[in-house]
Amino acid sequence: MLVDCRVNGRFCAQCCYGTEMVLTLEDIERITAAGYRLEEFAEYRDGFVRLRNVDGHCVFLDPATGRCRIYPVRPLGCRLYPLVYDPVRDEVLVDDLCPRADEVRRAVGDPNRYRYVMRRLLRSALRTAQVYGEALRNTYPSPKE
């Protein structure tokens, strides 16, 4: 599924503000292979390794253009968005915050057909927290701690 993220000719980037995006080991491998250090883009928060926010948006967002600086190697969760997983209900939803939500619903049909992928993403994110969580917590403590 490919979503055209442009709204009125400009990249929307709404999903990049206040991001809660979890990272997998594979995400970290791709991003570090592109030349970034883990401490530059990741933080341990709420039990997961997540993309850092800088000035209220994803560290990789260019706010002037609305484009992702690492688009070819962006995290799996970013690739799947606006599909989001609710683990409590074990349900895949289309995020209504996305301006293209209705278009995605029409294209995808039943988003729960992506449930297996989303469950794997969650399991992988939990493993990533086990591997990198302590190091990141010690490097950049969460403001809540």
pTM to 2 decimals? Answer: 0.86
Closest to 51 (Cα-Cα) out of 27, 80, 34: 27
pLDDT for the residue 144: 45
For the segment 112-122, the average pLDDT, to the nearest whole number, is 94
What are the pLDDT digits (tens) for 65-92? 999 999 999 999 999 999 999 999 999 9
Instruction: Give the Å distances, CA to CA, from 108 to 87, 101, 117, 142.
Output: 20, 10, 14, 36
For the segment 42-57, the average pLDDT, to the nearest whole number, is 94
CA 7 to chain centroid, in Å, comes to 20
Tokens of 139: 């490097």
For the segment 46-57, the average pLDDT, to the nearest whole number, is 94
pLDDT at 27 over 50: yes
pLDDT at 145 over 50: no
CA 40 to chain centroid, in Å, comes to 16
